[in-house]
């Protein structure tokens, strides 16, 4: 029998810190008039794998802290909360957990019908029922933030994600537990077709045999699915707790602002309680074929590694590198480009045109000797 409540794992606690920061920033932005291009902003927040709202040792689950942080937000006075502007939908399939969650929310916040925002707690299946519930709640005409936080079996249909991506200013956050990648063999192929939008999209990932690369490949495959679904920007990263198993998160958004807000949240909690975020592109400091290069610099940090990978594809201005860091890497921001280029120039890794001051338009390329080393001819 599955337990009603379970212990809060360090990776989940780390993810919760990130969600809290993200939501704290997201609500006032989304409810600000005109920000999203909607004259009278309305939003729907969906936690489709809600859980019982509480962990074994009393910590709050995601539905409880999401409601609490909205209702006690420091900007609550400016957000004009109302039941027709804000809907929070929580879906839990397990009936005992759903019942527990409903009772807990009522005991913490009072009767749902008296709350200043609409809170729906449904006993249903996230994969099958989310779309219909969003229709019933008239959610498709305004931004939706959907969190798909299942354990092992992400069964969220691609068509649902695509429909959400089609609503301006909407976003999704999908998490994968480490078991998802190792237990992949036991997952039903028809279900994978539904999640990735067709067999041809996930089969190449399934052919990856190297155990260390499997999770990277599957994560990348999911990231591509979000891109195909219509999210202009996607971030994928590993949430590394101070102890225990990591978990993996893929975020899709239509706006650069969304990426910035997520990265701000990451920087705000990075290091908290020993947690960190890792870019799946990096393999502990040294990309293939570049051992000699990295052996020579003192700090083989992730940022240098990523920029080197990018510059192997061709030269770019400092400004372009900033945009690439923001939109293509898991946690680096625009502002990191200039400092990184300065350090790489000082270490003799890159050359700049023109020489001298590093401006936005300065062209950066790998030092010719470094480029030659990667090319075995
Ligand atoms: C990882 S837990 C959620 C944790 C919660 N979001 C939090 O952060 O506190 C996943 C939950 O999803 C529920 N669940 C599993 N499959 C589901 C489905 N198809 N639809 C809805 N809920 C489901 C499980 O019963 C479990 O309570």
CATH assignment at residue 305: 1.10.10.10
Ligand 1, atom 27: closest residue by C-alpha: 51
Closest approach atom of ligand 1 to CA 19: 8
What pLDDT does 209 receive?
Answer: 80
Interval between CA 273 and ligand 1 midpoint (Å): 25
What pLDDT does 17 receive?
Answer: 96
- Stretch among 237-251, 267-281, 314-328 having the lowest mean pLDDT: 267-281
Interval 236-252 mean pLDDT: 93
CA distance 55 to 61: 6
pLDDT band at residue 341 under the 50/70/90 scheme: very high
| Residue 138 DSSP symbol | T
What pLDDT does 238 receive?
Answer: 92
Whether residue 251 is found in the same domain as residue 355: no
For the CA atoms of the chain, what is the radius of gyration? Answer: 22
Mean confidence (pLDDT) of the chain: 89
pLDDT band at residue 271 under the 50/70/90 scheme: confident
Interval 196-214 mean pLDDT: 88
Closest approach atom of ligand 1 to CA 49: 12
- Residue position matching structure tokens 């704290």: 24
The per-residue pLDDT for range 134-178, each reduced to its tens digit, is: 999 999 999 999 999 987 667 899 999 999 999 999 999 999 987
Query: Is residue 52 within 8 Å of residue 30, measured between CB atoms?
Result: no
Query: Is residue 89 within 8 Å of residue 120, measured between CB atoms?
Result: yes
Interval 14-21 mean pLDDT: 96
What pLDDT does 272 receive?
Answer: 84
Determine whether 288 is exposed, middle or buried from the number of CB atoms within 10 Å of its CB (0-12, 13-18, 19+). exposed
Whether residue 273 is found in the same domain as residue 295: no
The string of DSSP letters for 201-260 reads HHHHHHT---HHHHHHHHHHHHHHHHHHHT-SEEEEEEEE-SSS--EEEEEEES-HHHHH
pLDDT higher than threshold 50 for residue 317: yes
The closest alpha carbon to 145, from 265, 57, 285, 309, belongs to 265
What pLDDT does 359 receive?
Answer: 93
Residue 337 has which token pair?
């480009």
Which residues line ligand 1 at a C-beta cut-off of 6 Å?
12, 47, 49-51, 61-62, 91-94, 97, 125-127, 149-151, 155
Whether residue 322 is found in the same domain as residue 227: no
Give percent of the chain above pLDDT 90: 70
3 within some domain? no
Tell which of 248, 278, 308 closes a domain.
278
Interval between CA 50 and ligand 1 midpoint (Å): 5
Tell which of 278, 306, 340 closes a domain.
278
Domain count within the chain = 2
pLDDT higher than threshold 70 for residue 300: no
What pLDDT does 274 receive?
Answer: 85
Residues recorded for the chain = 377
CA distance 304 to 285: 9
Interval between CA 90 and ligand 1 midpoint (Å): 10
Tell which one of 93, 153, 195 to mutate to probe ligand 1, the residue whose CB is within 8 A of the most ligand atoms: 93
What pLDDT does 99 receive?
Answer: 98
Interval between CA 148 and ligand 1 midpoint (Å): 9
Whether residue 155 is found in the same domain as residue 178: yes
Ligand 1, atom 4: closest residue by C-alpha: 51
2 within some domain? no
The per-residue pLDDT for range 94-131, each reduced to its tens digit, is: 999 999 999 999 999 999 999 999 999 999 999 999 99
Query: Is residue 128 within 8 Å of residue 86, measured between CB atoms?
Result: no
| Residue 186 DSSP symbol | G
Ligand 1, atom 12: closest residue by C-alpha: 49
Residue-number span of the structural domain to which 88 is assigned: 10-278
Query: Is residue 37 within 8 Å of residue 168, measured between CB atoms?
Result: yes
Interval between CA 233 and ligand 1 midpoint (Å): 26
């Amino acid at each position: 029998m599955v337990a009603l409540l379970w212990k809060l794992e360090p990776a989940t606690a780390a993810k919760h810190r990130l969600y809290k920061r993200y939501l704290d920033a997201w609500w006032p932005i989304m409810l600000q008039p005109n920000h999203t291009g909607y004259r009278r902003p309305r939003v729907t927040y969906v936690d489709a794998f809600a859980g019982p709202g509480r962990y074994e040792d009393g910590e709050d689950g995601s539905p409880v802290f999401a409601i609490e942080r909205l209702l006690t937000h420091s900007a609550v006075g400016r957000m004009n909360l109302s039941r027709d502007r804000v809907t929070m939908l929580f879906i839990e399939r397990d009936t005992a957990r759903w019942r527990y969650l409903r009772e807990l929310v009522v005991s913490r916040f009072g009767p749902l019908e008296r709350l200043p925002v609409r809170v729906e707690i449904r006993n249903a299946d996230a994969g099958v029922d989310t779309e219909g519930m969003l229709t019933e709640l008239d959610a498709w005409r305004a931004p939706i933030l959907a969190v798909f936080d299942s354990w092992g079996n992400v069964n969220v249909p691609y068509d649902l994600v695509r429909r959400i991506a089609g609503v301006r200013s909407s976003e999704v956050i999908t998490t994968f537990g480490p078991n998802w990648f190792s237990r992949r063999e036991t997952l039903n192929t028809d279900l994978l077709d539904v999640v990735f939008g067709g067999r041809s999209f996930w089969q190449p990932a399934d052919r990856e045999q190297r155990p260390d690369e499997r999770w990277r490949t599957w994560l990348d495959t999911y990231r591509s699915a979000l891109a195909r679904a219509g999210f202009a920007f996607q971030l994928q990263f590993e949430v590394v707790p101070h102890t225990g198993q990591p978990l993996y998160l893929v975020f899709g958004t239509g706006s650069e602002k969304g990426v910035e807000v997520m990265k701000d949240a990451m920087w705000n909690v990075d290091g908290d309680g020993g947690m960190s975020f890792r870019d799946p592109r990096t393999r502990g400091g040294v990309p293939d074929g570049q051992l000699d290069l990295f052996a020579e610099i003192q700090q083989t940090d992730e940022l240098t590694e990523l920029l080197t990978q990018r510059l192997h594809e061709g030269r770019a201005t400092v400004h372009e590198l900033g945009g690439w860091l923001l939109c293509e890497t898991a946690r680096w921001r625009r502002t990191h480009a200039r400092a990184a280029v300065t350090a790489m120039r000082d270490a003799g890794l890159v050359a700049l045109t023109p020489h001298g001051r590093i401006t936005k338009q300065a062209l950066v390329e790998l030092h010719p000797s470094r480029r030659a080393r990667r090319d075995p001819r």
